[in-house]
Structure 1
Amino acid sequence: MTPVPPSRADRSSPGEVLRAGPLEIHATARQAFVNGARITLGSRAFDLLLMLAEAAGRVVSHDEIQARVWPNRHVSETNLRVQVSTLRRALGEARHVVSTVPDRGYAFTPFGQHAPEPDDAPVPGDHVVHVVDDEADMRDALEGLLMASGWRVRTYGSVGAFQEALTAQTAGCLILDVSLPGENGLELQRRLLALGLSLPIVFLSGRSNIPIAVEAMKAGAIEFLTKPAAGEDILAAVARAMALALSERPQSPA
């Protein structure tokens, strides 16, 4: 399917305007609006948004973003993922126009279209979304959301309960609360890495904490979401996490 670029329209104010659903990007004025309300974006965040919008659905690689948005310094993949996550939060209702394409880069996806993704692959029966959260209501809500979207789900009330069920064959991905009684989410992430277990992690946190988010994503987390996270954001993050889990799955001998 050929990507359709965001629409352009002349306005009384100078400069080009790019529109996608409730989002308007005023290129010359360097302003962005969602449903008519101006959103606050830093200079680099605006450059990133404008670059993706101008690419009109084409996947933009890390190297391309580096060259245009941060031309004079190196930005790690972890740092870029944090920047993209922060941009999505700032976009609010329009956050889904910025898509992550695993192993390729990022894309601007106009409303009503699907983000460019790798070819779909069946999810093996042993690949499960493991949910670790000490709040029963949160576990139930996540389980309902995920099962309604077709995912297999197992829930755990603590790190200890998850570890009791953990084996070398445990596969899939993990939705992990940061603040847990006893061993917390970051400590579990470090333990899994030390054990050599590859379970892509989506973190949930009761509050926004950039240093913790950077630490989690530097260690390989797929996403760091602040509660209450939108269901669409959780499902999108789980889809990316499971795609990574499947890509790392050992291949059976022919």
Structure 2
Amino acid sequence: MQVQFNDTLEHPNSLDAFTSPSSSQTKPGAADHAIRFGRFCAIPHSRQLLMDGRPQEIGGRAFDLLMVLLKSNGGIVSKDEILDEVWPSMVVEECNLRFQVKSLRRALGSQGHMIKTIVRRGYMLIRDDVLLESEVRFEAIQSKEFSKIDTPAMTKTTAPYIVLIEDDESVRRSISTLLRSVGLGVASFESVKVYQESAHADQPDCLILDVCLPGRSGLDFQADLLKTGMRYPIIFISGHADIQMSVRAMKAGAVEFLTKPVRHQDLLNAVDQAIGACDV
């Protein structure tokens, strides 16, 4: 996404000056270097975020995070780079970054999907509704990472490895494509039995399990793994979930419990959290 750095824009005395992105009328005042992106305008000097000319509630750290992402002009910003910029000369836990990402998405409201999580790489700010230059680069990154996954050696050495067990073929294919598009290695199976009989040697960084599976359910398989001492990070997905199921899964250590249809970004966020748990 290309953003506009308006070096000559004057800081307005009222918010009306920002109502229309195409408006050339500004009021006298100190230069504020406003940055327009989509329906938003970020004003660094006054640390304001406007949406359609109206101020949005945003915390100081979340605003700093927004500025870092905007300055990348559609590029991926690593977690280390963000931590250095947003928390200079401070040592903070990565959970603080995740919290601020959530805060920024809340500030962007219905446009929160502009903030994308790139698993094990960082974050980027793009727009889904219009194919801009930054999104072309994003698609190129996805294509490049996808081609790497086709090489078996790459799966184990460079890409986190995900095991997906889902009996619905269309869902299985969709999730596999999504995960591969962000550089993850994926092996998918239609049931727990098929997975176990595959004698897969690679240890997964994360398991994505449907709750309702033919034979052993996802919850049963989670219990089986715990009995054998295997504590893989597990993400559950289900189209027929209830509170009892989700409570059972989370008490047994699941990272997340998502209901179908699963939003892509929600799943990527959960996978990022699961892989992060492996790195601790």
CA distance change for structure 1 residues 72 and 175 in 2, over 3 Å: closer, same or farther?
Answer: same
Q: Deviations over 1:97-135 (max 9, x none)?
A: 3334455433333553243847322544998965568xx
The reply on whether 1:52 has 2:85 as its aligned counterpart is no
For residue 169 of structure 1, the aligned residue among 185, 201, 223 is 201
Q: Count matched residues.
A: 218
CA distance change for structure 1 residues 130 and 33 in 2, over 3 Å: closer, same or farther?
Answer: farther
Distance in structure 1 (CA, Å) of the matches to 2:224 and 2:101? 25
Structure 2: segments with no counterpart, 5+ residues = 16-28, 156-160, 181-186, 212-216, 244-249, 276-280
Question: What residue number does 1:75 align with?
Answer: 92
Q: Which one has the bigger helix percentage?
A: 2
Question: What residue number does 2:36 align with?
Answer: 19
**1:74 Cα shift?**
1.4
Query: Does the aligned pair in 1 maintain the 2:120–2:272 contact within 8 Å?
Result: no
CA distance change for structure 1 residues 33 and 202 in 2, over 3 Å: closer, same or farther?
Answer: farther
* Equivalent residue letter for 2:79: H
Matches within 5 A, 1:23-172: 23-34=40-51, 38-71=55-88, 73-88=90-105, 90-109=107-126, 112=132, 113=135, 114-115=137-138, 117=141, 119-120=144-145, 121-124=147-150, 130-131=163-164, 142-143=171-172, 145-146=174-175, 153-154=188-189, 167-169=199-201
Query: Does the aligned pair in 2 maintain the 1:175–1:204 contact within 8 Å?
Result: yes
Moved more, 99-108 or 44-53: 99-108
CA distance change for structure 1 residues 196 and 203 in 2, over 3 Å: closer, same or farther?
Answer: closer
Larger Rg: 2
Query: Does the aligned pair in 1 maintain the 2:237–2:262 contact within 8 Å?
Result: no
Query: Does the aligned pair in 2 maintain the 1:52–1:108 contact within 8 Å?
Result: yes
CA distance change for structure 1 residues 69 and 40 in 2, over 3 Å: closer, same or farther?
Answer: same
Structure 1: segments with no counterpart, 5+ residues = 245-254
* Equivalent residue letter for 1:40: E
Distance in structure 2 (CA, Å) of the matches to 1:229 and 1:40? 30
Distance in structure 2 (CA, Å) of the matches to 1:88 and 1:67? 20
Give me the TM-score of the superposition, normalised by structure 2: 0.50
CA-atom RMSD in angstroms:
5.3
Question: What residue number does 1:6 align with?
Answer: 3
Query: Does the aligned pair in 2 maintain the 1:40–1:90 contact within 8 Å?
Result: yes
Distance in structure 1 (CA, Å) of the matches to 2:100 and 2:114? 15
**1:48 Cα shift?**
0.8
Identity percentage over the alignment?
A: 24
CA distance change for structure 1 residues 196 and 230 in 2, over 3 Å: closer, same or farther?
Answer: closer
Question: What residue number does 1:249 align with?
Answer: none
Give me the TM-score of the superposition, normalised by structure 1: 0.53
Query: Does the aligned pair in 1 maintain the 2:218–2:236 contact within 8 Å?
Result: no
Query: Does the aligned pair in 1 maintain the 2:178–2:264 contact within 8 Å?
Result: no
**1:28 Cα shift?**
2.9
